[in-house]
Amino acid sequence: MTYPHPILAREGWPFIASSVLLSVLVWALAGFWWSLPLWVLTLFVVQFFRDPARPIPKDPFAVLSPADGRIVAIEHAFDTYAQRDALKISVFMNVFNVHSNRAPVDGTLRAVQYFPGKFFNADLDKASEQNERNALVIDSAGRVVTAVQVAGLIARRILCYVKAGEALQRGQRFGFIRFGSRVDVYLPLGSQSRVSIGDKVYASSTVLADLAA
C-alpha cells in the first residue's frame, strides 16, 4: 500500500478536528480570550501532523533517513532482528518534528516484528532495547537494512502499514509514531555513515549512509 503526501497526515485528522471543534465551542460559549489557549493547542496539533512531500535521492547505494529529527547514535551494534553485527544509526524525533516514517531503501520486507515494552525517553540508548518498538527487516538487493520504530516517553502508539513479503520503494510512507520517538537503522558492516552526531536530518531527503558494496 502506498500513501501520498497530503500536507497533513491522515493520522492527525481526528485530533485536528477535535481540537478545532473544542476551540470553536469555547469561543462561542465563553469568548475568544478563553478559547485562545485551545487555539494555540490546535496550532501545535496541526504542526505535529504535517506531512510534507520531500525530494528523494536516486542513488541505489544511498540509505535515506526514515524520519525527521536529530542523529543521536552512530555505532557498531548487534542487530537482534536480523541476527548480525551491524552499523547502527539512530534518529531522535521530538514533538516538533514530522513523525511520518518512510522507507530508507528499495527492497522486499523479510519480516515485520512488533515488541511491547516500556516508554523511556527515546533519546536514551536503553530505549532501543527496552521500549515498545516495531522492526522492519528489508532485503535490498541482497543487502539487509533494518529500520526500527521506537516509541518514546510521550509516544504511545506505533503505526505500521506494511507486512512481510511486500515490496518497498525508497521514500515510501510506511508508518507513523505519535508524539515523540526514535527510529534506529541497522546497516551491513562496511557501510559508510554520511552524518554525524547532532546532525538534523529529514525523512527521504537526507542520506544517512552509503551501503556496503
Residue among 181, 191, 193, 204 flagged as catalytic:
181
Has residue 2 got a pLDDT over 70? Answer: no
Has residue 169 got a pLDDT over 70? Answer: yes
The C-alpha cell at 96 is 516538533
What is the arithmetic mean of pLDDT over 178-203?
A: 91
**Lowest-pLDDT choice from 3-7, 108-112, 178-182, 206-210:** 3-7
- Mean of per-residue pLDDT scores for the chain: 88
Number of H helices, E strands in the chain: 3, 16
The alpha-helical segments, DSSP class H, found in 60-187 are 127-130
Has residue 132 got a pLDDT over 90? Answer: no
E strand segments, 47-121 = 50-51, 62-64, 69-79, 84-93, 100-102, 107-115
pTM for the structure as a whole: 0.85
99 residue type, one letter: H
Of 41, 82, 47, 86, which Cα lies nearest the Cα of 68?
47
Give 119's pLDDT tier (boundaries 50, 70, 90). Answer: low
What is the arithmetic mean of pLDDT over 122-147?
A: 85
Give 176 or 148, the one with higher predicted confidence: 148
C-alpha dist (Å) from residue 95 to 59, 182, 187 = 30, 11, 27
pLDDT tens digits for range 78-101? 999 999 999 999 999 888 888 889
Has residue 135 got a pLDDT over 50? Answer: yes
Give 27 or 6, the one with higher predicted confidence: 27
C-alpha dist (Å) from residue 90 to 75, 165, 166, 198, 209 = 9, 25, 24, 11, 12
Whole-number percent of the chain with pLDDT over 70 = 91
Give 120's pLDDT tier (boundaries 50, 70, 90). Answer: low
**Is 181 tagged catalytic?**
yes
C-alpha dist (Å) from residue 178 to 27, 45, 48, 100, 164 = 28, 11, 9, 9, 23
The C-alpha cell at 135 is 522492526
User: Looking at the DSSP assignment, which residues form a beta bridge with residue 85?
Assistant: 78
| Residue 45: count of CB within 10 angstroms of its CB | 17
Whole-number percent of the chain with pLDDT over 90 = 58
Give 75's pLDDT tier (boundaries 50, 70, 90). Answer: very high
DSSP state of 152: -
pLDDT, position 178 = 73
Buried/exposed 125-138: b ≥16 CB within 10 Å, e otherwise: eebbeebbbbbbbb
CB 110 within 8 A of CB 50: no
User: Looking at the DSSP assignment, which residues form a beta bridge with residue 112?
Assistant: 136
DSSP reduced 3-state for 23? helix
Residue with cell 539487509: 144
